[in-house]
Structure 1
Amino acid sequence: MTKDHPREVVQAAVAAHGEDTVIDWAVAFLTGEISGEAAYGAELPKLVAITGSANPGGWKAPVDPVNYYWIRVWAARVFLYLWRDDVVDALLAVEDDPAWRVREHVARITAQRELGQLVDGLLPMLEHELPRVRAAAVRAIGVAGESEHVEAVEELAGDPDHTVRAAVERALARLSERLGPRSPRC
């Protein structure tokens, strides 16, 4: 069985339920308005619509609550393919989510949508233990950051992980392109 790409899943959900409805569901899952228990209970048809699977995690029933954060990850992923301006409020509400995968998606969305208002909330991710999280934050800051964020990115130029260092190089180039060269420090 071939699993559909997330973009195709979201497109199918929109075709079946409408764009605003799918966005509303994703916001409700992301922000916890629809709980994990409800997502695998009464609200399961909504979860199926945005994930393309009746059991997206492949877990045995009942689903262990430790895995409920995946619902927020899948909901955030929707915003890589669908957008409405009020989604920013939901992203702001979860920028410090306890699950690093949710925060990583917030960074990805920030970069894709150039959401400068989310950049400050990404700064703690620059110190995350996982290189992929640091790199996602650096990329987002490169796209949507301002001059006050440059120093935080520069501090990762010597990161032990090559993907983070490469992201720093690209982010600094992009920031310089967008903001102009930095004035020398006194």
Structure 2
Amino acid sequence: MSDLTLRPKGKWASLTLTVAISTVCLGIACDSQMLKAHIEPINKTNVLDENSLKLQLMVSVVKNNLADLTTAMERLTPLLSRDNVPSFFFENDLFDLIAQNLRVAERALRDDKESAVYAAEYKILARAIAKARSVASLNSSIISQSKNIPDTYESDINLQGLKTLVAYSTDRLISSIS
């Protein structure tokens, strides 16, 4: 018995998947006010075919959506680091869901054969996805660390000896680098 793998066919499959995932992630994290895309002017100095124009427009929209998503998540990072975090963030780890979806988008974009043809546009998109994924992963990690209270153990360690050991190790590390 063989495993059946479904892969989207067509020239725009991975880019369309990336657009869909970024839109879903944006919808998960933001209100409808953040769904406004700010389209940057297209470079008119080069003679571009219709596919290039469509691709630039799509990349511009997705990049701006991802920038809005990243900004919204970055604004939440200091809030998540406080003691009195709203319980909503602990009940639904949406940041983890966003990070997982953006990883899928990164893989789809990386595996796309068209990326060699439109390398500049794909690089812009890959950076925007990576930045948003990084912020989502950071926020998810903060939530995860806040949920899990570490075990504490009694110890008879000599704190002054520990400080001396740390200072000695730090000095050795600095001297080995110099």
TM-score, normalised on structure 2? Answer: 0.29
User: TM-score with structure 1 length normalisation?
Assistant: 0.28
Which one scores higher on RCO, CA 8 angstroms, separation ≥ 6?
2
Higher helix share: 2
In our comparison, the structure showing a higher alpha carbon Rg is 2
